[in-house]
A and B are shown apart, each in its own frame.
Chain A
Amino acid sequence: MKRIFHLTFTFLRIGILNEMQYRVNFFIQLLQSFVALGTGLVGLALVFEHTTDLSGWTRPELLAVMGVHILMGGVIRAAIQPNMQTLANDIQQGTLDYALTKPVDSQVIVSVREFRLWQVVDVVMGFIVLSWAVVELQEGLGVVDALVFAATLVLGGIMIYCFWLMLTTSAFWIIRVYEMINLFEGLYAAGRWPVGIYPLWLRSMLTFLVPVAFAVTVPSEILVGQSSTQTLIGALALTIFLVVLARFVWSLGVRNYSGASA
């Protein structure tokens, strides 16, 4: 366990050092984040120009959802997606051999190799939007709520990671997964709005197939005081299930990998 932390930390440090070489990218990322935030706010403003609530969600509440969505998007693009893209490339080109021969758990190493520091801008941006939403909600946020909120965020992040890992692992059988990444981005965009507004079939997909509901809507519900204990237990149960399932799918995939003798 200690070795895994040490390894993760080392890769993190290398990732940061790498990104520090390209400082202009920070400003480009900043601008892109502002543009994305701007279009998000325009969308919200348009909706609330024509109505006062969307399926029971008020403007500040939807602002909170947007904050969580941006924050989680930043986490995905900083830590999850780059690793999974490298993994997909490795599987396709047969260079995964190099990772598999390392004397450490293969799932750990393929999950911590990459880190995109500048994407953290979105995490910060998400926090700012969230704080703004909490101020506008005028309900205050208790310590317990804040802790539960943080916990659901972590659970959501783990679920998204498991989902991505399984998606990428399918490359062991079907080789090309780029289009699926495109599909994920489309579905993740749906999390910008609370999943409750979608028709049932889409809501089920966003809850169990792609766990966007648990990653974005559930944490937001805690902020706006709509959560129930059942949802939290459900989130915990689904996380454990997904972790086990992802582990199983991964080991199945690795066994199926024949390498390409680099």
Chain B
Amino acid sequence: MRRYLDYYLTSMRMAILEQFQYRVANYFYMIGMVAEPVIYLVVWSTVAEAQGGEVGGYTPAAFAAYYIVWTLVRNMNIVFTPYGWEGYIQRGQLSAELLKPIHPIHNFLSFFAGWKVVVILFWLPLAAILSLIFKPALDFTWVEVVVFFFAIWGAYLIRTMLLTLLGMITFWTTRVSAIYELFFAFELVLSGRLVPMSLMPVWVQEIADWLPFQWTFGYPIESLVAQLPPAELWGGLGMQALWIGITTVMVAVMWRFGIRRFSAVGN
């Protein structure tokens, strides 16, 4: 255990130092990412105003709060991509990872976790500017802030596991980009990234309840902005824990079978 803690802290510190050097690149990237929620925000604020100031329980100010917090959650959702796995497996870089006396997933988990620390720091001024422009209705308790803090890291873990599962498909087949695209499209609609889940038709919400996606996106946002009743607020963390468990077991199983198919490419 001690060994893992040391590894994570060191690796995270390295990632923090490294990413801090690329301040401008990181910022440009984050600004480019802001376009997407701003578009959603404008469209849905327009709809809300046309409907007498509210749609699906959201006023324009509530939408603003939702989509500004969205930008942080989106950043927490950026993890080692399946395209990265594709490269690792096809080009044999995985061989080098296999030589280390630690599962490769710890490498990815800790590196991106360190990066997130930088991202959260950089996000604060961005959120301040967006708040000045769009005037969100933010009304949270400190309990919600604490839950939100854990929820974004829960989201990070679930998404890492999901994308790892997706990326490991490369062990069996090499043309995977089409599968990824399909996955991302479903995720977009069923996670709360496109719109808050309460705007979805009921049948879509029912499907989403059986899937992990909303726990990586909609729930963390709502924990801060939507005044969830205590049962839903804490229950969400429980659901996240459940999905972390399920996806971790799936990753472990898939890894065991997948790694047998891996034939190293020497470099």
Residues of chain A in range 29-51 having any CB-CB distance to chain B below 8 Å: 31-32, 35-36, 38-39, 42-43, 46-47, 49-51
B residues with CB within 8 A of A: 24-25, 28-29, 31-36, 38-39, 42-44, 46-47, 50-51, 55-56, 175, 177-178, 181-182, 185, 188-189, 194-195, 199-201
**Is the beta-carbon distance between A199 and B42 smaller than 8 angstroms?**
yes
**Is the beta-carbon distance between B36 and A189 smaller than 8 angstroms?**
yes
Contact check: which of A27, A50, A182, A193 meets B51 at CB < 8 Å? A50
- Measured in the bound complex, the distance between the Cα atoms of B34 and A187 in whole Å is 9
**Is the beta-carbon distance between B33 and A186 smaller than 8 angstroms?**
yes
A-B contact pairs, 6 of them (CB 8 A): A36-B185, A39-B194, A42-B194, A55-B46, A55-B50, A187-B35
Residues of chain A in range 119-141 having any CB-CB distance to chain B below 8 Å: none
Chain A residues positioned under 8 Å from B35 (CB to CB):
183, 186-187, 189-190
**Is the beta-carbon distance between B42 and A197 smaller than 8 angstroms?**
yes
The chain A residue sitting closest to B40, CB to CB, is A43
Contact check: which of A35, A42, A176 meets B182 at CB < 8 Å? A35
Interface hub of A46, A182, A187, A198 (most chain B Cβ within 10 A): A46
**Is the beta-carbon distance between A43 and B194 smaller than 8 angstroms?**
yes
**Is the beta-carbon distance between A186 and B34 smaller than 8 angstroms?**
yes
The chain B residue sitting closest to A46, CB to CB, is B195
- Measured in the bound complex, the distance between the Cα atoms of B196 and A50 in whole Å is 13
- Measured in the bound complex, the distance between the Cα atoms of B42 and A202 in whole Å is 10
Interface residue A192 (Cβ < 8 Å from any Cβ of B): yes
Chain B residues positioned under 8 Å from A145 (CB to CB):
none
Q: Tell me how far the C-beta of B23 lies from the nearest C-beta in chain A, rounded to whole angstroms.
A: 12
Contact check: which of B29, B50, B177, B199 meets A182 at CB < 8 Å? B29
The chain B residue sitting closest to A176, CB to CB, is B25
Q: Tell me how far the C-beta of B29 lies from the nearest C-beta in chain A, rounded to whole angstroms.
A: 6
**Is the beta-carbon distance between A182 and B28 smaller than 8 angstroms?**
yes
Contact check: which of A24, A39, A50, A202 meets B189 at CB < 8 Å? A39
Q: Tell me how far the C-beta of B141 lies from the nearest C-beta in chain A, rounded to whole angstroms.
A: 29
Chain B residues positioned under 8 Å from A28 (CB to CB):
175, 177-178
**Is the beta-carbon distance between B178 and A193 smaller than 8 angstroms?**
no
**A contacts with B, residue count (CB < 8 A):** 35
**Is the beta-carbon distance between B50 and A197 smaller than 8 angstroms?**
no
The dominant DSSP class at the B interface is helix
The chain A residue sitting closest to B183, CB to CB, is A35
Contact check: which of A32, A46, A49 meets B181 at CB < 8 Å? A32
5 closest A-B pairs by CB: A186-B35, A179-B28, A182-B32, A183-B32, A186-B32
**Is the beta-carbon distance between B32 and A185 smaller than 8 angstroms?**
yes
**Is the beta-carbon distance between B177 and A50 smaller than 8 angstroms?**
no
The chain A residue sitting closest to B28, CB to CB, is A179
Chain A residues positioned under 8 Å from B182 (CB to CB):
31, 35
Chain B residues positioned under 8 Å from A46 (CB to CB):
194-195, 199-200
- Measured in the bound complex, the distance between the Cα atoms of B177 and A50 in whole Å is 34
Chain B residues positioned under 8 Å from A50 (CB to CB):
47, 51, 55-56, 199
- Measured in the bound complex, the distance between the Cα atoms of B40 and A197 in whole Å is 11
Given contacts A32-B178, A189-B39, contact A179 B47 (CB under 8 A): no
Q: Tell me how far the C-beta of A33 lies from the nearest C-beta in chain B, rounded to whole angstroms.
A: 10
- Measured in the bound complex, the distance between the Cα atoms of B194 and A171 in whole Å is 34
Interface residue A244 (Cβ < 8 Å from any Cβ of B): no
The chain A residue sitting closest to B177, CB to CB, is A28
**Is the beta-carbon distance between A54 and B181 smaller than 8 angstroms?**
no
- Measured in the bound complex, the distance between the Cα atoms of B51 and A72 in whole Å is 32
